């Protein structure tokens, strides 16, 4: 329930931000994955063209938007059979993550499961519904289950935040089979799917089929190789915030099992959870234009190529990080100790402790800063004996 919610973790970074900001040359904030590059003009134009919107928008989204999502799945995710009736726009993906257990009617005595190192909102969503949050990385963690003891909802996150880990087709298929055997709904948070850094060899290994032509993104829970031709019990969650610099638009969607989507729709109609009509129009433009996504990915690839090599001289080892916007790194020490050392060089990152006890010896370093700030961070990290100069206050 609401009273059981944890403190908002980011508030605890305030003293480290102040410490880092005092360094000569200013703060390099690599703590939050918020885009810093401009929203593509093609999307801005679509928003402006739809700005005369005096009537109420459709909670389900316009037919054109739902069709655009289905077309995008076919073009970018290798999923040609998404039913537009199984698509629902959401006001950003965090909103959907936080409210999904409640919208599905999950309640006290039931369980919501998610990875041991995970976006905190999965846990928060379970608590809002009054359900029991459980962190687990494998179905074997639940032991022998029955219809009574199985989790009601299982969250997957691939590419993972904060780890950047990609779940391959064989792994996803195994989870789906287990979930269907035990009546578990699987929701897969896939919002970093377009930012895939794997090599062709890694893609083939993750796909489990060397003859299959891989889509340009990471595997979806709705991929026919994963779901074996049926979306029953499955929901894929996606956001345009990262791929299109649309965090300020709150533009996202959920797709999959038509019956589950219609259940969500009915509650959202009553609750007034409606995406503004101009944003719906902007989403259509964003989903249809793949060039701006490639351009943004190239920007992040260039920043990653500068920042990643600079971590080793600072004593950090990068783990996983095969997709997404973060370098999941460890110095073999408590994450807050690493955060303090980074702050002394004017750099703010996110402690792995934010993402569960299993992340307590890691830090998450974001690529979401300007080219100049990324270059500054790399210089500070890779310079032996770097000494900061603080402004006296």
Domain parsing of the chain, residue ranges: 2-38+292-382, 53-288
Close Cβ partners of 14 (under 8 Å, ≥ 6 residues apart): none
* The pLDDT of residue 211: 62
**Rounded to 5°, angle at Cα 48 from 44 and 54:** 140
* The pLDDT of residue 201: 86
pLDDT digits (tens, 9 = 90+) for 36-47: 999 999 999 999
SS (H, E, C) 8-29: CHHHHHHHHHHHHHCECCCCEE
* The pLDDT of residue 353: 94
- CATH numeric code, 53-288: 3.40.640.10
Fold (CATH) for 2-38+292-382: 3.90.1150
Contact 87, 262 (CB under 8 A): no
* The pLDDT of residue 31: 95
Low-confidence ranges of the chain (pLDDT < 50): 389-393
Q: DSSP assignment, residue 57? A: P
Q: Which two tokens stand for residue 28?
A: 């390099």
* The pLDDT of residue 4: 67
pLDDT digits (tens, 9 = 90+) for 17-66: 999 999 999 999 999 989 999 999 999 999 999 999 999 999 999 999 99
Fold match between domain 2-38+292-382 and domain 53-288? no
Contact 328, 162 (CB under 8 A): yes
pTM for the predicted model, two decimal places: 0.93
């Amino acid at each position: 329930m609401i009273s059981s919610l944890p403190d908002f973790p980011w508030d605890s970074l305030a003293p480290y931000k102040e410490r880092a900001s005092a360094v000569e040359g200013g703060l390099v904030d690599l703590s939050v994955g918020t885009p810093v590059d401009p929203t593509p003009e093609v999307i801005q134009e679509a928003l402006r063209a739809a700005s005369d919107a005096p009537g109420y928008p459709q909670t389900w989204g316009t037919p054109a938007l739902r069709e655009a999502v289905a077309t995008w799945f076919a073009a970018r995710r290798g999923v040609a059979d998404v039913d537009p009736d199984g698509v629902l726009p959401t006001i950003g993906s965090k909103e959907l993550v936080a409210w999904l257990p409640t919208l599905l009617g999950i309640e006290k005595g039931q369980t919501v499961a998610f990875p041991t190192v995970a976006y905190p909102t999965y846990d928060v969503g379970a608590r809002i519904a009054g359900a029991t949050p459980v962190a687990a990385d494998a179905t074997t963690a639940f032991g022998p289950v029955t219809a009574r003891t199985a989790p009601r909802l299982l969250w997957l996150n691939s590419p993972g935040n904060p780890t950047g880990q990609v779940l391959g087709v064989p792994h996803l298929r195994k989870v789906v089979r287990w979930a269907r055997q035990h009546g578990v709904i699987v929701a897969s948070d896939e919002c970093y799917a377009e930012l895939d850094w794997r090599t062709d060899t890694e893609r083939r290994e993750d796909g489990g089929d060397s003859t299959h032509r891989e889509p340009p993104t990471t595997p979806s829970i709705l991929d026919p190789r994963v779901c074996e031709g049926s979306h029953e019990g499955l929901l894929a969650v996606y956001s345009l915030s990262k791929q299109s610099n649309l965090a300020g638009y709150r533009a996202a969607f959920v797709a999959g099992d038509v019956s589950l989507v219609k259940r969500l729709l009915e509650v959202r109609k009553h609750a007034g959870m409606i995406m503004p009509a101009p944003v719906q129009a902007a989403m259509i433009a964003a989903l249809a234009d793949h060039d701006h996504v490639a351009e943004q990915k190239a920007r992040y690839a260039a920043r990653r190529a500068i920042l990643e090599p600079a971590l080793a001289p600072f004593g950090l080892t990068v783990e996983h990080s095969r997709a997404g916007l973060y370098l999941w790194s460890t110095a073999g020490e408590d994450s807050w100790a690493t955060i303090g050392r980074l702050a002394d060089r004017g750099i703010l990152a996110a402690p792995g402790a934010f993402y569960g006890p299993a992340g307590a010896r890691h830090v998450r370093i974001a690529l979401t800063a300007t080219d100049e700030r990324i270059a500054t961070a790399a210089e500070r990290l890779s310079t032996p004996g770097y000494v900061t100069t603080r402004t006296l206050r």
